[in-house]
Amino acid sequence: MSGIIQLLPDHVANQIAAGEVVQRPASVVKELVENAVDANASEIKLIIKDAGKTLIQVIDNGKGMNVTDARLCFERHATSKIRHAEDLFALHTKGFRGEALASIAAVAHVELKTKQEQEELGTHIVIEGSKFISQEVAVLPKGTSFLVKNLFFNIPARRNFLKSDHVELKHIIDEFERVALAHPTIHFVLISNGAEIFNLPSSNYRQRIVNIFGGKTNEKLVPVNEETEIISISGFIGKPEFAKKNRNEQFFLVNDRFIKSSFLHHAVMSAYEGLLKDANQPSYFLYLQVPTHTIDVNIHPTKTEVKFDDEQALYAILRSAVKHSLGMFNVAPVLDFERDATLDTPYAYKDVKSDMPIIQVDSTFNPFATEVEAKTKSSNSGSSYSSGNTSYKKQELQPSWESLYVGLKQDSFEVESRTFESGEVVTSSLFDDEIAETKTLLYQLNRKYIINSIKSGLLVIHQNRAHQRILYEQFLTNITVHQAVSQQMLFPLCLHLGREEVLYLKDLQPNLEGIGFVFESIALDEVKIVGLPVQVKESEVLDILNDLIHNLQQNLPEDSFSLSDSIAKFMAKSIAVKSGKIMNETEMSAIVNSLFGCKEPNFSPFNQPIFITLTTEELDKRF
């Protein structure tokens, strides 16, 4: 009887392994760029087309490979990074599992061109779905060019699960930024569909951060430096006033490798305790150096999660280092209520003695004398005092102070009031009784609810959700018919955003213009706006756009209708009146009237109830 267990063919095993390593085009980018870094390249160029679905090419000027290595690198578990099991605890390179290239070659068309510096000719290899098509000698420059085309061509189900081009491009940019931040001395270039997105020259850590996230990032950064026997911490944290609601600018780089660690993130957040608004996230770019034997990076296939030997000590050291930097650069508030910083002596004048002021007094000055007498006495006296140079000069002097009260009517102002009785509304006699009786009164409860009386009882409206519904229907209509009203600005408003946010804003531009935004230009790191929707204040534009981009990236709408609907929802959520705002009767009346003019006044754009009614019968039952 034959056994039921058998070895899988290599191409099937490679496709299974590809499910772990190659999840999307960004996974291919990560593996190939990290290989280029391990090859000691000083220049790395990444070229993608259609968000990596059609083409991914990584070109470097590293060491290259000879003919044998070029063929062997596509075999499973073939690696140049480790030799023994002990090497796993002394890793200084990115990749070491030896499965990446074999997995990529199993699900794509691959071309490899490589040449070592001492060789005259290089090697050109073509592979399609783990099958070697050709291998030949070619004239090539030093380094390696790895080209991946038609990803998942032989696994249509995996290809169908890929998201839109924008979503996949976002993941590629994330992986690119992580490697570029870890290695600022390497020149990186990213080109997408023929357009250059990043061109990052060799620089230091601070300049690399500024080049990636925009020139305005420089003023947000506060340096962090701490040296201990356990860990060495360097890098930068963001000032609390620049915190955002997204976590796009949070990076831990341990031994030049990007990692995700909720434990270390909590240490940073605890250092910011009391300095951030609700739900805001600080920026941080922290480079941690630990001994290689105290860290295990082989606990996850993507190597983004690591295990430290002494996490408690790292937590305490990191929290203290961040808190120290916040305090040292006067970012954190000083709890000294009697100290006035404006009275501090400047450093340059700390040794300069102060001169005693000279005081001159006119002993003949009489503040109750007339202007003529004062001038006469001043001219007769030898003093340098002049009544015209003082604050005691009088414009018009009355004969006596009693004249100030001449002609003042002694009429008393009396306001009639009625005593309060149960069930009676107290009104002042200053108002006409008929007006008071016919006027519909609106009340605000706890700065959150609008209370209105109706024939059947009471109407309780949630002011924030009601305003969301009103704005949502307005925005959705404006996007559809493109008839929004814009308020033109006297001077253009310049916003400095990250490259990734600017790219996303370009995709949203037609819909935002339908709402009422007018863009003069959208550059790589600067956006100029010359017109705003009438509901948006100039001071709120940056926060609104940041929140909008963050919310859309979390929900990832696929089609144009869903995108328009999502923009209208999140714009309404950002602009709507917040709970806690005091509203006058005119504002409350406008919300109530507009709400019941909506197509769907019962629920907010996020399907939450907007109002409830308390009937007279329900109220009677409670008494």
For the chain, what is the mean pLDDT? 80
Q: In this structure, is residue 412 part of a structural domain?
A: no
Q: In this structure, is residue 375 part of a structural domain?
A: no
Poorest-pLDDT segment among 85-94, 297-306, 507-516, 601-610: 85-94
Residue 196 sits in the same domain as residue 275: no
Residue 584 sits in the same domain as residue 622: yes
Q: For the residues 258-279, what does the mean pLDDT come to?
A: 88
Residue 241 is part of a domain; what is its CATH number?
Answer: 3.30.230.10
Name the residue with higher pLDDT: 462 or 217: 462
Residue 56 sits in the same domain as residue 110: yes
Report residue 138 CA to chain centroid gap: 47
Poorest-pLDDT segment among 221-225, 328-332, 376-380: 376-380
Place of tokens 């569909």: 193
Q: Which pLDDT band holds residue 296 (cuts at 50, 70, 90)? A: confident
Q: Estimate the crossing angle of helix 463-481 against helix 560-575, to 10 degrees.
A: 140
d(CA 469, CA 461): 12
Cβ-in-10-Å burial (0-12, 13-18, 19+) of 393 comes to exposed
Give the pLDDT of residue 395: 45
Q: Pull the structure tokens for residue 231.
A: 């860990």
Domain count, the chain: 3
Q: For the residues 565-592, what does the mean pLDDT come to?
A: 91
Strand partners, 56: 48, 148
Name the residue with higher pLDDT: 372 or 9: 9
Q: How far is CA 43 from CA 62, 221, 331, 592, in A?
A: 8, 27, 38, 62
Give the pLDDT of residue 424: 44
Poorest-pLDDT segment among 24-28, 304-308, 393-397: 393-397
Q: In this structure, is residue 593 part of a structural domain?
A: yes
Name the residue with higher pLDDT: 285 or 372: 285
Q: Is 149 helix (H, G, I), strand (E, B) or coil?
A: strand
At a CB cut-off of 8 Å and minimum separation 6, what does 212 contact? Answer: 177, 180, 181, 198, 200, 498, 499
Range of the domain at 245: 205-328
Residue 101 is part of a domain; what is its CATH number?
Answer: 3.30.565.10
Residue 472 sits in the same domain as residue 594: yes
Q: Which pLDDT band holds residue 347 (cuts at 50, 70, 90)? A: low
Q: Which pLDDT band holds residue 387 (cuts at 50, 70, 90)? A: very low
Final residue in a domain of this structure, among 300, 328, 356: 328
DSSP for 174-243, written as a single string: HHHHHHHHH-TTSEEEEEETTEEEEEE-S--HHHHHHHHH-GGGGGGEEEEEEE-SS-EEEEEEE-GGG-
The pTM for the full model equals 0.71
Share of the chain above pLDDT 90, in %: 34
d(CA 579, CA 590): 17
Q: In this structure, is residue 87 part of a structural domain?
A: yes
Cα distance from N-terminal residue to C-terminal residue, the chain = 85
602: pLDDT strictly greater than 60: yes
Name the residue with higher pLDDT: 529 or 372: 529
Residue 447 is part of a domain; what is its CATH number?
Answer: 3.30.1370.100
Q: Which pLDDT band holds residue 500 (cuts at 50, 70, 90)? A: confident
Residue 573 sits in the same domain as residue 467: yes
Q: Pull the structure tokens for residue 266.
A: 């909590």
Place of tokens 């414009």: 395
Q: In this structure, is residue 101 part of a structural domain?
A: yes
Give the pLDDT of residue 430: 39
Final residue in a domain of this structure, among 200, 235, 270: 200
Closest by Cα among 234, 129, 149, 174 to 27: 174
Closest by Cα among 242, 243, 214, 251 to 502: 214
45-59, 251-265, 367-381 — most confident range: 45-59
Final residue in a domain of this structure, among 179, 200, 221: 200
Give the pLDDT of residue 398: 46
588: pLDDT strictly greater than 90: yes
Q: For the residues 328-345, what does the mean pLDDT come to?
A: 62
Residue 148 sits in the same domain as residue 187: yes
Give the pLDDT of residue 149: 93
* CA-based R_g, the chain, Å: 36
Residue 176 sits in the same domain as residue 310: no
Tell me the helices (H) and strands (E) count for the chain, helix number first: 17, 22
Strand 43-49 and strand 187-192: the pairing is: parallel
Residue 569 sits in the same domain as residue 452: yes
d(CA 560, CA 511): 9
Residue 473 sits in the same domain as residue 601: yes
Give the pLDDT of residue 365: 80
Cβ-in-10-Å burial (0-12, 13-18, 19+) of 164 comes to middle
Residue 441 sits in the same domain as residue 578: yes
Q: For the residues 33-55, what does the mean pLDDT come to?
A: 92
Closest by Cα among 86, 83, 36, 30 to 59: 36
614: pLDDT strictly greater than 60: yes
d(CA 170, CA 178): 12
DSSP for 304-325, written as a single string: ---EES-HHHHHHHHHHHHHHH
Q: In this structure, is residue 416 part of a structural domain?
A: no
Supply angle C-alpha 246, 248, 249, rounded to 5: 110
Give the pLDDT of residue 109: 93
Q: Which pLDDT band holds residue 392 (cuts at 50, 70, 90)? A: very low
Q: Pull the structure tokens for residue 416.
A: 């009639």
Q: Which pLDDT band holds residue 221 (cuts at 50, 70, 90)? A: very high
66: pLDDT strictly greater than 70: yes
Q: Is 608 helix (H, G, I), strand (E, B) or coil?
A: coil
83: pLDDT strictly greater than 80: no
Residue 211 sits in the same domain as residue 301: yes
Q: In this structure, is residue 565 part of a structural domain?
A: yes
Residues 460, 496 contacting (CB under 8 angstroms): no
Q: In this structure, is residue 381 part of a structural domain?
A: no
Residue 612 sits in the same domain as residue 569: yes
440-485: per-residue pLDDT in tens?
A: 678 899 999 999 888 888 899 999 999 999 999 999 988 888 777 8
Residues 526, 495 contacting (CB under 8 angstroms): yes
Classify residue 487 as left (phi > 0), alpha (psi -120 to 50) or beta: beta
Place of tokens 């890929």: 162
Give the pLDDT of residue 561: 67
Share of the chain above pLDDT 70, in %: 77
Q: Estimate the crossing angle of helix 205-213 against helix 165-182, to 10 degrees.
A: 170
Residues 26, 174 contacting (CB under 8 angstroms): yes
Give the pLDDT of residue 389: 46
